[in-house]
Amino acid sequence: MIAPVLSPRHLAASIVGASLAIVLPLVGTVFTACGEDSGATTGRRVVLATTVEVAPAAEAGFTNAFGFEITLDRVLISVGELRYFAGAPIGRRDPPLAPGLTGPRLVHAHPGHYVAGDELGEMLDPLTVDVLAGPAALPDGQGITGEYLSASFRFASPPVGSLADDLGGAVVLVKGTAASADLEIAFELSAAHDQVLDTYGEPLIAGCPFTAVTVDRDGAVILTVDPTLWLDQVDFSREPDVVTGEPVVLDPAEVPHQAFVRGLKKAAAYGFSFIPNPGASP
């Protein structure tokens, strides 16, 4: 059952989406009546296996915006509901542009009016996963055929699964090392439920990019978590009393941790894609 999302934001988005759901089939119908083929392919039920993996750059080690060479040792995340939508994400740019955000940009025109559109699929069972331990299978989700353009990611709270206790009450835990010319530390960063709330008070990341794809058969949704974006703006040197060679648990009251939380809220850090089952029929 694809349930409607009832948060205020999603309610607003779904109003527009529902209206489009009325309008678009009508447009197609009338085109057909006028001698055109609408070619509609949406609406057939599909089974969506679900896998969580880590972005390769995070696995290999990376350098963040402040020049820290970062190696990750453990990345635990409490994955909650995943929902997939027909609306394009805001701020998506394809291909990436650099430097300086020049050139054509893919945008939605109205900030605050991310139009999620129709919900096309979902995975509702939470699980805590260690994304550095290799791809983790989540329970199957379900959906309907159509063009999937965006998704939402919810942090499950409290966390569930065999790794839940390792989170120590948080919804995300990152352990690793960070090294610059002046500083080398083993760090631990975590974020609790209250720190990842959106502007409606939900632990939700809306408008995540779903690599544009037409889902026309059973297959697997791949959620790629990218901790490089979580840590890109963390300037470890701004952590008070940090000493080279000593482990540090970053203080939620300080700027480096706040930068980490901003990173957690970047929708681009949760990328979705789809791989059709080889044997499945469209």
The correct pick among 2, 24, 144, 179 for binding another protein (CB under 8 A) is 24
Residue 269 beta carbon to another protein: minimum distance, rounded to whole angstroms: 7
Closest CA to 77 of 154, 152, 185: 154
Nearer residue to another protein within complex by CB, 85 or 164: 85
**What letter would DSSP give residue 100?**
T
Task: State the burial class of residue 273 (Cβ atoms within 10 Å of its Cβ: 0-12, 13-18, 19+).
Answer: middle
Nearer residue to another protein within complex by CB, 130 or 198: 198
What are 47's two structure tokens?
A: 């089974």
The answer to whether residue 6 forms part of the interface with another protein (CB under 8 A) is: no
Which residue(s) pair with 273 in the sheet? 222
Stretch that binds another protein, among 131-139, 161-169, 174-182, 206-214 (CB under 8 A): 206-214
Nearer residue to another protein within complex by CB, 14 or 128: 14
Stretch that binds another protein, among 130-138, 164-172, 200-208, 217-225 (CB under 8 A): 200-208
The correct pick among 2, 63, 91, 213 for binding another protein (CB under 8 A) is 91
What are 80's two structure tokens?
A: 């909650």
Closest CA to 220 of 46, 45, 42, 43: 46
Contact (CB, 8 A) for 82 and 151: yes
Closest CA to 126 of 169, 170, 157: 157
- Give the type of residue at 204: L
Q: Given the rule CB under 8 A, which residues bind another protein?
A: 8-9, 12-13, 15-16, 18-20, 22-24, 26-27, 30-31, 33-34, 36-37, 65, 88-94, 96, 98, 101-115, 150, 198-200, 206-209, 229, 232-233, 255, 258-259, 262, 265-269
